[in-house]
């Protein structure tokens, strides 16, 4: 037979185990057998040998020593060896996956078959040949160490993926806090410029009256805290009515109904949030040293909505409908909800209005407008 090794060439069996030593745990009631096996292994620098004579201490020893292979005698005075094999292979036992080589004084096919059926990995007649035993110890230990390394790598990978998922969710939440979900998905798919036409939406602008004077009376920290309380209340209402908050500009708040998902009740939804915004301001005033009042302007009609530019993405609206809604706010009165003729016509059957008559609107000329009072 031709040797696979060249003359004078030695194979380093331990090269694969530099990060995890081969550890043998022998369970045998005969100290003389243990000593014989110890002597066989003592010259192997990469193999650590441990021995216990009491099989009931196996789990404790395995927990302390972390063996890479277990050698177990099948004939012991106080315990049947096959019973111990079943015990070591129990579903919840810490020894379940550790390679198990059973030792027997005779070559018995029936005992071999039973040992393998109960979960043994190998079978040796004692005392085994030194070279064969060491080869089998290394073979089974290599497989077990590889399993441990794969499990550790999988655990590390799962831990990394878990952290990555958390970070991805944070990024996703941040993106969705800036852009509507549908728009965010389109940007992630590679669309660089998004512009969509919507024929029927309702736009609302709200502005805090006397904000500039308020800013001169309170500290910047107090001012930001007050604005946060007001706008957080508005954000809650926007979520409740499933509206799209567009932006805040200083003390102005802009929200729209009817996009990016179209809805037939856009005017009703924007009227409801306007009325509730007034109520929320009244609630805030009861618990504040300051008295807030807001002007609200509403208009309905077609708009173009989308995202443009390369930095600091903002989902925004364009068109005459938006400009007119802004004019309704700026030409309105404190504590009132000022709406256009078009919005009034969409809502007159369900809501109470007060006609304002014709007013001169900057950039628009004379317009008939109304104040929204309440729901019918």
Q: Are 62 and 95 in contact (CB under 8 A)?
A: yes
Q: What percent of the chain has pLDDT over 90?
A: 59
- pLDDT of 19: 61
Average pLDDT over residues 165-172: 84
Q: What is the pLDDT of residues 38-72, one digit of tens each?
A: 999 999 999 999 999 999 899 999 999 999 999 99
Is residue 220 very low, low, confident or very high in pLDDT (cuts 50, 70, 90)? confident
- pLDDT of 1: 34
Average pLDDT over residues 76-104: 89
- pLDDT of 235: 93
- pLDDT of 118: 92
Do strands 294-307 and 337-340 pair parallel, antiparallel, or not at all (unpaired)? parallel
Q: Are 62 and 26 in contact (CB under 8 A)?
A: no
SS3 content of the chain, % helix, strand, coil (to 5): 45, 25, 30
Enumerate domains of the chain plus CATH numbers: 13-152 (3.40.50.2300), 181-375 (3.30.70.1230)
- Longest alpha-carbon distance in the chain: 113
Give CA–CA dist 38/26, Å, rounded. Answer: 9
Examine the pLDDT at 174 and tell me if it is beyond 90. Answer: no
Examine the pLDDT at 193 and tell me if it is beyond 60. Answer: yes
Examine the pLDDT at 180 and tell me if it is beyond 90. Answer: no
Q: Work out the number of other CB atoms within 10 angstroms of the CB of residue 359.
A: 16
Q: Has this prediction a pTM greater than 0.95?
A: no
Give CA–CA dist 280/233, Å, rounded. Answer: 7
Average pLDDT over residues 243-250: 89
Give CA–CA dist 357/359, Å, rounded. Answer: 7
Q: Work out the number of other CB atoms within 10 angstroms of the CB of residue 141.
A: 25
Indicate the average pLDDT of the chain.
Answer: 87
More confident residue, 228 or 313: 228
Q: What is the pLDDT of residues 260-300, one digit of tens each?
A: 889 999 999 999 999 999 999 988 888 877 788 899 999 99
């Amino acid at each position: 037979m031709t040797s696979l090794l060249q003359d004078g060439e030695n194979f380093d069996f331990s090269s694969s185990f530099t990060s995890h030593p081969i550890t043998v745990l022998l369970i045998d009631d005969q100290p003389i057998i243990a000593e014989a096996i110890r002597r066989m292994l003592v010259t192997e620098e990469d193999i650590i040998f441990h021995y216990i004579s009491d099989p009931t201490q196996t789990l404790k020893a395995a927990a302390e020593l972390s063996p890479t292979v277990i050698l177990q005698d099948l004939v012991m005075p106080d315990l049947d060896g096959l019973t111990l094999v079943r015990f070591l292979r129990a579903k919840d036992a810490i020894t379940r996956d550790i390679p198990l080589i059973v030792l027997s004084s005779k070559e018995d096919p029936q005992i071999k078959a039973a040992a393998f059926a109960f979960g043994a990995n190998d079978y040796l007649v004692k005392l085994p040949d030194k070279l064969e035993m060491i080869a089998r110890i290394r073979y089974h230990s290599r497989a077990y160490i590889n399993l441990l390394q794969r499990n550790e790598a999988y655990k590390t990978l799962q831990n990394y993926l878990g952290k990555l998922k958390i970070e991805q969710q944070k990024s996703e939440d941040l993106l969705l806090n800036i852009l509507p979900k549908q728009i965010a998905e389109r940007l992630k798919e590679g669309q660089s410029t998004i512009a969509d036409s919507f024929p029927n939406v309702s736009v609302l602008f709200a502005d805090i009256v006397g904000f500039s004077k308020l800013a001169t009376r309170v500290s910047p920290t107090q001012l930001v805290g007050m604005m946060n309380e007001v706008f957080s209340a508005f954000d809650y209402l926007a979520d409740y009515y499933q509206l799209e908050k567009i932006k805040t500009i200083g003390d102005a708040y802009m929200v729209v109904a009817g996009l990016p998902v179209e809805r037939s009740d856009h005017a009703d939804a924007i009227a409801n949030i306007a009325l509730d915004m007034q109520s929320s301001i009244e609630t805030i005033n009861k618990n504040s040293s300051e008295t807030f009042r807001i002007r609200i302007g509403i208009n309905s009609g077609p708009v173009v909505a989308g995202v443009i530019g390369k930095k600091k993405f903002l989902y925004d609206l364009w068109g005459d409908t938006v400009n007119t809604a802004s004019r309704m706010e700026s030409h309105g009165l404190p504590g009132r909800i000022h709406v256009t003729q078009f919005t009034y016509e969409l809502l007159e059957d369900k809501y109470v209005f007060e006609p304002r008559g014709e007013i001169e609107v900057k950039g628009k000329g004379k317009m008939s407008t109304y104040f929204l009072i309440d729901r019918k």
